[in-house]
Amino acid sequence: MAGDSAGGNLCLTTALKIRDDYPHIGLPAGQILFSPWVMCPKPLKDNFDDYITNFGGRTFVEAYTQNSAKVQTSHFASPIRSPTLAGMPRMLIFIGGVETLRPSIEGFVEKATAEGVELEVHTKDGMAHDYALIEDISGPKVLKEANEIIGKFMAQILKDNFTSTD
């Protein structure tokens, strides 16, 4: 399962819902998260090196949550607020070094690590939100590097979960 920004939020909250309410379905073998949105409605600190702004972030949060305080404080909208992240699938997380969401993503990483979630985290200095997906932001060399990291992560997921022992 993979997603960027709000899509990363949807990946995380879907996995939380499966883990908590539908364990018979089984969790994804892994998640690839590009600059995931992990907390609302926390105000963002504008960073002129990133294209995500406090105004834009607030607008997206309001649209997604319909300004409902109940929704905004739910861990199904803000995965960092989950009572526990234990039992979540293995994650590959990309964080832009100058991205506006970096502090909240790093808080999520810290919590997930403390609760035993297997993580591989890549923070790229000088890069903005979703750098690992957008060549105009990162350039071809950095994009190629991100794709190689993703390929290795996926190969390991396949090896660990889908390799026959016959």
DSSP string, 8-77: HHHHHHHHHHHHHH-TTT---SEEEEES-----SPPPPP-TTSS--HHHHHHHHHHHHTT-HHHHHSTTT
**Domain limits at 142?**
2-161
Contact (Cβ atoms closer than 8 angstroms) between residue 63 and residue 54:
no
Instruction: Tell me whether residue 34 is in a domain.
Output: yes
Whether pLDDT at 56 is above 90? no
Is 91 domain-assigned?
yes
Average pLDDT, the chain: 90
Q: Is residue 43 part of a domain?
A: yes
- The answer to the question of residue 47 being in a domain is yes
Distance CA 153, CA 34 (A): 14
Residue 82 lies in a domain: yes
Phi, psi of 3 (to 5 degrees): -170, 155
Taken in order 81, 85, 27, 18, the sign of the CA dihedral is negative
Q: How far apart are alpha carbons 163 and 144 in whole angstroms?
A: 27
Q: What is the pTM of this model?
A: 0.90
> Is the pLDDT confidence value at 94 over 90?
yes
Whether 166 maps to a domain, the answer reads no
Q: What is the CATH number of the domain that holds 92?
A: 3.40.50.1820
Q: What are phi and psi of 30, to 5 degrees?
A: -170, 165
Query: What is the mean predicted confidence (pLDDT) over 20-43?
Result: 90
Flag whether 29 is in a domain. yes
Position 71 in a domain: yes
Q: Domain tally for the chain?
A: 1
